[in-house]
Chain A
Amino acid sequence: QQQVKQSPQSLIVQKGGISIINCAYENTAFDYFPWYQQFPGKGPALLIAIRPDVSEKKEGRFTISFNKSAKQFSLHIMDSQPGDSATYFCAARHMNRDDKIIFGKGTRLHILP
């Protein structure tokens, strides 16, 4: 049973457009929702994260929108650039199990120049 469902699996966006990646979860005990960015040949790196007590967090061109009642959260990349082309993973952490983070299956994002 997949605890964090991520979509789409792949996404192509024109330069300057908005990239949107969605994630959904079932377990209401999750209390921390990070997004990781991975470039080819590199390990994933934390991009931005949110806790369920806020509905939105913005860092530069990257925004997380969080809908607690729907148990959904999404990553928005504004003014997408070719350098944003990477694989993005959403994730969730259980409040009582801080040793493990559950990752989504990833979204391959390609920004057309």
Chain B
Amino acid sequence: EADIYQTPRYLVIGTGKKITLECSQTMGHDKMYWYQQDPGMELHLIHYSYGVNSTEKGDLSSESTVSRIRTEHFPLTLESARPSHTSQYLCASSVAGNTIYFGEGSWLTVV
């Protein structure tokens, strides 16, 4: 079982608020990812990181930002949340790109 943790699991927040979704992994993986997914739907890569101080935009444009100051930590931030940001956000990590391990997801609802 993968050791990748996301907090909070569920968040309801008002429009305009700043939010940070936390993601931590204890496997020492260099590569980490953020995916956005509506329930049961397609996985959209929004950010990824090769390692510390490395971040790249994914295939789906996102207003969120990420940082990678420590290998094990890859937080995602929305400076000003909007209802269109309502979705599930999945953090993941991998080593050598073979198997991607996903966290259980953070469900964000912006009202």
Q: State the A residues within 8 Å of B (CB).
A: 32, 34, 36, 38, 40-46, 49, 87, 89, 93, 97-101, 103, 105-106, 108
A98–B92 Cα distance when bound, in Å, is 14
Given contacts A43-B104, A100-B48, whether A34 and B42 have CB atoms under 8 Å apart is no
A98: B residues at CB distance < 8 A: 96-98
30 CB contacts below 8 A, A to B, read A32-B98, A34-B99, A38-B40, A40-B40, A41-B105, A42-B104, A42-B105, A43-B92, A43-B102, A43-B104, A43-B105, A44-B43, A44-B90, A46-B99, A46-B100, A49-B98, A89-B43, A93-B97, A93-B98, A97-B97, A98-B97, A98-B98, A99-B31, A99-B50, A99-B97, A100-B45, A100-B97, A103-B42, A106-B40, A106-B42
Tell me the complex Cα distance, A105–B41, Å. Answer: 7
Give residues of chain B (37-77) contacting chain A, Cβ–Cβ below 8 Å. 39-43, 45, 48, 50
Q: How many A-B residue pairs have CB under 8 A?
A: 55
Q: A43-B104, A44-B102 given as contacts; is B43 within 8 A of A103 (CB)? A: yes
Q: Within the assembled complex, what's the spacing in Å between the Cα atoms of A101 and B98?
A: 8
Query: Which of chain B's residues have a CB closer than 8 A to the CB of A97?
Result: 97
Chain B residues packing against A (C-beta within 8 Å): 2, 31, 39-43, 45, 48, 50, 90, 92, 94, 96-105
